[in-house]
Amino acid sequence: MAFWRKKKKTEETSINDAPLPQGEVVEAVEETIDAVEAAVEVIADTAAELAEEMSTAPEEEAEEIPENIEVEAPEETPILVEAYKSLDALGDEAESEDEAEKTGWISRLSGGLSKSSQKIGQGLGDLISKKKLDHETLEALEDILITADLGPALAARLVGELESDRFGKDITEQEIKEYLADKITAILKPCARGLEMKAPETTNIQGKKSPRVILVCGVNGVGKTTTIGKLAHQMHFKAGKKVALGAADTFRAAAVEQLQIWAERTDSVFVSKDQGADAAAVAFESYQKSMDEGADILMIDTAGRLHNKQHLMAELEKIIRVLKKHDENLPHEVLLVLDSTTGQNAITQVETFKSLVNVTGLIVTKLDGSAKGGVVVALAEQFGLPVYAIGVGETVEDLQPFKPEDYAKALVGLEL
């Protein structure tokens, strides 16, 4: 398991860079001492004012300043934060990334999707022995797309469109890949959104500032807790947010510990109860503590539920009901985590969860090594829900913004 590593502070270099004549050095030092003394006075005054205000709204500002200084520095990897900045920016961001970031992202994505792209790419390679697009080729192409988990309906539609555009005409493997990548990008684009981190400007019944509340759900083992940890890392260390984590998976003691470790690694406020406690009570208390401690974002982990287990689904509904006692707008986000290796079963999971709770967005995990990357296209086509991020591995860097064009190209095996 890879952990987040703290960035080393860069050395101060300014004094050594340009040595001054001795007299000027003394003057400069005296000026600096004056400035420091003045600053100390200001800080002392501010501290006194803050102490006075402590009883009403203390922690928020006091905690944000020192914690985030180090993390403002640019990181080597593409980050979700970029996606958070603007809802629409994702698809256009590739150009603005620096090369190192881009290379890292591309190798992760195309490496992760290599099994899926092999299916399509190699399948096409075997297929295009003739030059003209005929029925036989189209049928075989449809099979390839179904095997890559785009689903029968979408596979038929794409092949139908290719047929009406290019039937009987000369076509190469590269052209078919480009055609598919364009079509798939168009399907994916409306789903590429950043995860909003700002709570709406509403006040709850206590008249307090609310954190943004993200409830995370999904079936067993899809990657909910790990995804929360990765998100907390990015929100805190890259966006400078104060994060709180609520351990509403009270089924297994290990589940609480797993989240606690992430809370420690990401300096997050942590709320839990004993194993077997009421999950809704944990959620309720998590919100209260997040407010009291001035957290910007609260993520609530839930037990992996089998979507056919009625009592578990009822528990999820109860969590939402209880949160609404604090504020009827809660939770602001219900994230459904899906494991891409389950392929078309992910469709059924979305249908079931959607029928019970207001799913507002998806995160699709385990695309590394999954031969079923096409399911993301099927999900986009069928539900149009935002795909906030995709998981292409187990480290924190492996939770990536969802970039439709790159995804489509990697999926069909085109160079990025």
Ligand X SMILES: Nc1nc2c(ncn2[C@@H]2O[C@H](COP(=O)(O)OP(=O)(O)OP(=O)(O)O)[C@@H](O)[C@H]2O)c(=O)[nH]1
Query: Residue numbers of the site for Mg ion (CB under 5 A)?
Result: 224-225
Residue 190 interacting partner from ligand X, Mg ion, none (CB closer than 5 to 8 Å by kind): none
81 binds ligand X (CB under 6 A): no
CB 147: neighbour CB atoms within 10 A?
A: 17
How many residues sit close enough to ligand X to count as binding (CB under 6 A)? 19
**DSSP character for 95?**
G
Which residue number is nearest to Mg ion in terms of Cβ? 225
- Name the binder of 296 from Mg ion, ligand X, none, CB < 5-8 A by kind: none
- Write each residue from 208 to 227 as x if it is in contact with ligand X (CB under 6 A), else as -, in one continuous string: ----------x-xxxxxxx-
Q: Which is nearer to ligand X, 171 or 389 (CB)?
A: 389
Query: Which among 334, 215, 229, 198 is positioned nearest to 284, based on CA atoms?
Result: 215
Q: In angstroms, what is the minimal distance from the CB of 252 to ligand X? A: 7
Examine residue 331 and say whether the peptide bond preceding it is cis (omega within 30 degrees of 0): yes
Closest separation in Å from C-beta 154 to ligand X: 23
Minimal distance, residue 392 CB to ligand X, in Å: 6
- Shortest distance, CB of residue 300 to Mg ion, whole angstroms? 12
List the single partner that 308 binds among Mg ion, ligand X, none, CB under 5 to 8 Å by kind.
none
Binding mask 354-393 for ligand X (x = CB under 6 A): -----------xx-x----------------------xxx
- Choose the one of Mg ion, ligand X, none that binds residue 366, judging by a C-beta under 5 to 8 angstroms depending on kind: ligand X
Least separation in angstroms between residue 221's CB and ligand X is: 4
Site for ligand X, residues 85 to 114, rule: CB under 6 A = none
Q: Of these partners, Mg ion, ligand X, none, which one is at the site of residue 391 (CB under 5 to 8 Å by kind)?
A: ligand X
CB of 407 to ligand X, least distance (A): 14
- The reply on whether position 315 binds ligand X by CB under 6 A is no
Residue 250 makes contact with ligand X by CB under 6 A: no
Contact call for residue 246 and ligand X (CB under 6 A): no
Distance CA 187, CA 311 (A): 35
Nearer to ligand X, 151 or 304 (CB): 304
Selected from 63, 64, 70, 394, the binder of ligand X by CB under 6 A is 394
Pick 127 or 298: Cβ nearer Mg ion: 298
Beta carbon of residue 175, minimum distance to Mg ion (angstroms, whole number): 44
Residues 44-73, interacting with ligand X (CB under 6 A): none
What would the two tokens of residue 124 be? Answer: 């096409």
Per-residue HEC secondary structure of the chain comes to CCCCCCCCCCCCCHHHHCCCCHHHHHHHHHHHHHHHHHHHHHHHHHHHHHHHHCCCCCHHHHHHHHHHCHHHCCCCCCCHHHHHHCCCHHHHHHHHCCHHHHHHHHHHHHHHCHHHHHHHHHHHHHHCCCCECCHHHHHHHHHHHHHCCCCHHHHHHHHHHHHHHHCCCECCHHHHHHHHHHHHHHHHHHHECCCCCCCCCCECCCCCECCEEEEEECCCCCCHHHHHHHHHHHHHHHCCCCEEEEEECCCCHHHHHHHHHHHHHCCCEEECCCCCCCHHHHHHHHHHHHHHCCCCEEEEEECCCCCCCHHHHHHHHHHHHHHHHHCCCCCCEEEEEEEHHHCCHHHHHHHHHHHHCCCCEEEEECCCCCCCCCHHHHHHHHHCCCEEEEECCCCHHHEECCCHHHHHHHHHCCCC
From the CB of 383, what's the least distance to Mg ion, in Å?
23
Residue 222 interacts with which of Mg ion, ligand X, none, CB < 5 to 8 Å by class: ligand X
Judged by CB, which is closer to Mg ion: 305, or 326?
305
Q: Closest approach of Cβ 339 to ligand X, in Å?
A: 8
**How remote is the C-alpha of 168 from its chain's centroid?**
44
Binding-site ranges for ligand X (CB under 6 A): 218, 220-226, 249, 255, 304, 365-366, 368, 391-394, 398
